[in-house]
Structures are given as C-alpha cells and as structure tokens.
Amino acid sequence: MQSKQSNSGFFNIDKPIGVTSMDVVRKIRKEINSKKIGHGGTLDPLATGVLPIAIGNATRLLEYVLNYSKTYVAEIEIGKTSNTYDSEGDFSNQKSYDHITKSMIDIELNNFKGIINQTPPTFSAIKKDGVRMYQLARKGIDVKIPSRQVEIKALELKKFNPPYLTIKINCSKGFYVRSFAHELGDKIGTGAYLKSLNRIASGDMSIENSVPLNFLIEQLKHKDYSNLITNFDTVLSHMPKEKLTEEESIKLKSGQKILHHHSISQNELLRVFDENDVFFGIAEFLHTENILKPVKMFI
C-alpha cells in the first residue's frame, strides 16, 4: 500500500520517435494542469522507449530515478561516421567492413565493460557557460568536452548482420549510447553511428509495463488515468522495506531520528511503512548508531 497522494505518482511512458523528453512533459502537463511534473532521464528525439514521468509529490523522488541504471537495445551501423554520432548528422568516411567478424565485435564489447571514461557527443544538451553544446556545434564553434566516468554493467551482441549490429546495453546514468557507437567504430577501424535506440528499462520500470504516449494523453483527456499511475514505493522497490510501529512512524514523520535495530551493517536508504503497511517515506539507516533518520516524508 501507499499513503494517499492525490494525483501523485509515476507514469511509465513508451516515448515515441520524434519528440523530446520535455515535449512529453509539456503534453502531459497540458492535460493534467499541474506544474509539478518532470521526467526521469532524457531520451533523444530519435530514441524510443521507457521514460519515467513523475507528477505531484512524486517529483521529489526524481533524483533517485535519475540514478537508476538503464537498459537499451541499440542498432549500430558500421562503415560510416556521423558528426552527431546518430542518423541525424552529416555522414562521412565510408569504409569497408567486409573483414569484420562477430568474434572481433565480441572482443571489443568485452573491453568496454566496467567503469570507463566517456566523452559526450559535441551535439548534446550539456551546457557550456550556460549554452547548450549542440547550439555551439551548429555554429561551428569547437569546444572541448571533458570526459566523465560511466559504467557499462553488461553488453550483449544480440544480432550480427553487417553493416548492422544490434547490441543490448545495461549502463549507469550519464552514459551516451551515441558516444559508445562512435567509439566502437573507432576501435574496429570502420567508423560507426547509432542508427536507432530503444530504452527497454529504467530502474524498476520496463518496456513491458509501459504505456504509449498517445494512449495516455487520451486517458488524461477523459480524466481516467488512476490505473496508469505507478505507486511511489513500487518505483523504489530496489530499496529495502522496513515496517515500523505506530510510535516510530509518528516520530519519523515529525522529523525526529529514532533508535531502530536492523540487520544491515552499512548506511542505507530504506522505504519506511507504518503499522498499517502504508508507505510514507524514505529514511536512512545509520548502522553504527542503530538510528533511522528521516530523508523524505510523504504524509
């Protein structure tokens, strides 16, 4: 169960091609007439798939959703390069790929796994001195972008049909699949770009449980969408659950730390539920002191 949050929760949107993540936010905001709405991880216009949308008090949880790992299915074309690293750019440097084998791709994919330094694309929404990088790139202004640490948790070559590769990727936040496609092309010496991208999971949200954007908009017009909202605690299911007594719940809700014994031996965020098994917030367990400290309360 979850605490009563009027018009609050998450939509698991299957974003269509050709719209930005903010376009999705604007379309939904127009129908529900709420300023408290946000998305849990940008998808490029050419990308499709899972886009978590928070409404109402659920927007307070977006920082956790943004930190989730993501899973993508990417179609990459080798033998070509693009200045945007995807199909929207200008193509150049066509090279032969006849010598490329499946085992060569498997070897290179294995080398990408783990924590790596990745340079974001020049054509990206990252800001430099308050200006989006893609705006500078379109003006021909060359700006050096610092690399960042990201993690590739799993890589799997699902289909090998040169010049096309279909790759499943599980990665951390901040990972650019476009950059990965470009770097893979450099590694194998043929060049490559991202032809299409589908995000099939974002944390606990999966493509199987997603809702097409157009369907959701129709439901919103008819004010019939309560069954499409995902509960707060469901989105946070990766966090351990802790059920508290009535006294403990009252103190935590009022902002007090409480003495509480737990079996874990490290500091950890927990979903906290009251004596009626109703979710009411997030608390941090401080294991050295056996204390629960309120982090975000929904009461």
Non-local CB neighbours of 289 within 8 Å, separated by 6+ positions? none
Alpha-carbon gap, residue 260 to 287, rounded angstroms: 9
User: Sign of the C-alpha dihedral, residues 11, 15, 18, 21?
Assistant: positive
Alpha-carbon gap, residue 44 to 52, rounded angstroms: 14
Residue given tokens 């799993």 in the structure block: 154
Nearest to 34 by CA among 3, 8, 11, 61: 8
- At 13 the three-state DSSP class reads strand
- At 65 the three-state DSSP class reads helix
Q: Which of 14, 23, 44, 90 is catalytic?
A: 44
Q: How many CB atoms lie within 10 A of CB 35?
A: 6
Burial of 66 (0-12, 13-18, 19+ CB in 10 A): middle
44 is a catalytic site residue: yes
Strand-pairing partners, residue 282, are: 271, 296
60 in Cβ contact with 280 (< 8 Å): no
Structure tokens at 63: 């920082």
Query: How does DSSP assign 237-276, residue by residue?
Result: TTSPEEE--HHHHHHHHTT--EE---S--S-EEEEEE-TT
Alpha-carbon gap, residue 236 to 57, rounded angstroms: 14
Alpha-carbon gap, residue 105 to 209, rounded angstroms: 32
Structure tokens at 141: 């202004």
List residues with catalytic annotation.
Answer: 44
